Amino acid sequence: MSHHQYIYHELLDDLRTDQACEFLLRDVNFINWYQALDSQQLVIVGDVGVGKTFAMAYLIDELSRRREHWRPRAVICYYYFRAGKPRRLAKIYWILILSLLEQLPGLKGAFVEWYKQAEDSGHLDPEYSTTKLKEFFQLALGTLDRRL
């Protein structure tokens, strides 16, 4: 995970009032998503300034606490879009891949092999290639034996 993403998440934690977000845990959409047997994306949609980012930061922390009891431990990946910042798809894939590698150290060997193959096939600096990063991300997700 990007150092900037961690810092931003910690900032949100410091500014957030958890009690204002607890209703999300009782929302039928969240409950259905949480109880689903397959991996699904969780997306919060709303107007600017209604607290979507704080709500998602709360849910990330809540899911992180809950996953301590899951076997195998679920993988949690997230990326904060920030207003006024360029949204390069390659950067998003890179941060999500780093998150996977941190949570699943067994993937590091596969990543190193993929990286070398990408370089050998003529992709200099594959960490900047949206196509190559998407390729590895999909490959990594296909090997998961747990909820994402």
State residue 3's pLDDT score: 73
- Whether residue 4 is predicted with pLDDT greater than 90 in this model: the reply is no
Query: Tell me: the pLDDT tens digits for 24-55?
Result: 999 999 999 888 887 778 888 889 889 999 99
3-state SS, residue 121? coil
Query: Tell me: the pLDDT tens digits for 77-105?
Result: 888 877 666 668 888 899 999 999 999 99
Query: Tell me: the pLDDT tens digits for 101-122?
Result: 999 999 999 999 999 998 888 8
3-state SS, residue 27? coil
State residue 85's pLDDT score: 63
Tokens 């596969």 -> residue: 110
Q: Distances in Å between the alpha carbon of 137 and those of 66, 101, 117?
A: 25, 10, 15
Sorted by where each begins, the domain ranges of the chain are 3-142
State residue 87's pLDDT score: 65
Percent of the chain past pLDDT 70, that is, above it, reads 95
> How would DSSP label each residue in 41-107?
-------TTSSHHHHHHHHHHHHHHHHTTSSSPPP-------TTS---HHHHHHHHHHHHHHH-TTH
User: Which residues are CB-neighbours of 58 under 8 A, at least 6 positions away?
Assistant: 16, 18, 21, 24
State residue 83's pLDDT score: 67
